[in-house]
């Protein structure tokens, strides 16, 4: 990627849109003066030097690349003509064909970053329409590498599945953390001790899994084979349906993603 990039984020006042904007600025992908963002109610007091507007078409006219960062149910009302521009959706469910048709462009991308973009740790899968070229792909990689890690995947079905697996971001680890913290408090630990214990465990585990070459299954098997307290806990969790609950949850998210796309 070379030259100055004019980037517009429809929904830049939101959590994810703001996180992408901040990471793009920090990485030097876009300069403040070339960043445009839209908002619905009150103008945010951040990103000084950038352009804020309530007019999404005005934003599109000022931009070469437009990121759609709104709720999927709000998207049909956004009648922006983006002919000749690269349109990047971070919305769940909305298909490439629908994006191209609705915004009058042949260059559309479906991506699915998650809330960890705020701390530059998002995982972002993406897939592009046939009109997207290698220069466009360089922009996509730069934007989403700036807020974490990205992968181009093979099909929109992959995106629909990853909507549940990674698009949910911190939600699933947070669900586990909440259950562990509640159990610790119920056993008499002080809430602040329980919080430190669980959050340190989860952040440490993430770093360990990131740095070691073993598959997570290999690490679990090592603990089970040791036949200690951890093995007892793992076997009881699995007997209670832990693995099946995860599979059912991801299946529900996949079905929801597909249905959202069908509705668009």
This prediction's pTM: 0.90
pLDDT at 1: 57
Q: How far apart are CA 113 and CA 204, in angstroms?
A: 23
pLDDT at 92: 95
Decide: 125 and 157 in contact? Cβ < 8 Å: no
Q: How many helices (H) and strands (E) does the chain have?
A: 10, 8
DSSP state at residue 2: -
Residue 180's nearest CA partner among 165, 199, 164 is: 199
* Per-residue pLDDT tens digits for 198-207: 999 999 999 9
Q: How far apart are CA 123 and CA 144, in angstroms?
A: 8
Q: How far apart are CA 51 and CA 36, in angstroms?
A: 5
Q: How far apart are CA 242 and CA 17, in angstroms?
A: 34
Domains and CATH numbers, the chain: 7-154 (3.40.50.720), 171-262 (1.10.3730.10)
* Per-residue pLDDT tens digits for 30-86: 999 999 999 998 899 999 999 999 999 999 999 999 999 999 999 999 999 999 999
Q: Measured on CA atoms in the order 10, 16, 18, 22, is the torsion positive or negative?
A: negative
Residuewise pLDDT in 10s, the chain (264 residues)? 555 799 999 999 999 999 999 999 999 999 999 999 999 988 999 999 999 999 999 999 999 999 999 999 999 999 999 999 999 999 999 999 999 999 999 999 999 999 999 999 999 999 999 999 999 999 999 999 999 999 999 999 999 999 999 999 899 999 999 999 999 999 999 999 999 999 999 999 999 998 988 899 999 999 999 999 999 999 999 999 999 999 999 999 999 999 988 876
CA dist list (Å): 60 to 26, 28, 67, 120: 22, 21, 10, 26
Q: How far apart are CA 7 and CA 59, in angstroms?
A: 9
- Which three-class secondary structure state does DSSP give residue 123? strand
pLDDT at 3: 55
Q: State how far Cα 141 lies from the chain centre.
A: 14
Which residues are paired to 148 by β-bridges? 122
Q: How far apart are CA 65 and CA 144, in angstroms?
A: 14
Q: How far apart are CA 155 and CA 204, in angstroms?
A: 33
């Amino acid at each position: 990627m070379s030259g100055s990039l004019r980037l517009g984020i429809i929904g830049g006042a939101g959590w994810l849109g703001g996180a992408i904007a901040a990471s793009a600025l920090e990485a030097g992908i876009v300069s403040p003066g070339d960043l445009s963002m839209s908002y619905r109610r009150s103008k945010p007091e951040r990103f000084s030097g950038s352009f804020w507007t309530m007019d999404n078409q005005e934003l599109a006219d000022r931009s070469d690349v437009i990121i759609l960062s709104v709720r999927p149910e709000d998207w049909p009302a956004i009648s922006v003509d983006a002919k000749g521009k690269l349109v990047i959706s971070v919305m769940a469910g909305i298909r490439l064909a629908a994006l191209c048709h609705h915004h009058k462009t042949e260059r559309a991308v479906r991506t699915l970053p998650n809330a960890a973009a705020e701390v530059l740790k998002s995982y972002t899968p993406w897939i592009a329409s046939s009109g997207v070229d290698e220069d466009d792909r360089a922009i996509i990689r730069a934007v989403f590498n700036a807020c974490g890690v990205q992968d181009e995947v093979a099909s929109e079905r992959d995106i629909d599945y990853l909507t549940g697996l990674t698009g949910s971001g911190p939600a699933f680890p947070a669900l586990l953390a909440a259950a562990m913290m509640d159990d610790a408090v119920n056993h008499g630990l002080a809430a602040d001790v329980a919080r430190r214990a669980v959050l340190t465990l989860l952040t440490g585990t993430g770093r360990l899994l990131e740095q070691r070459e073993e598959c997570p299954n290999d690490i679990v098997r090592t603990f089970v084979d040791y036949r200690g307290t951890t093995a007892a806990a793992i076997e009881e969790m699995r007997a209670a349906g832990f693995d099946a609950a995860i599979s059912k949850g991801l299946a529900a998210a996949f079905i929801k993603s597909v249905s959202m796309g069908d509705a668009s």
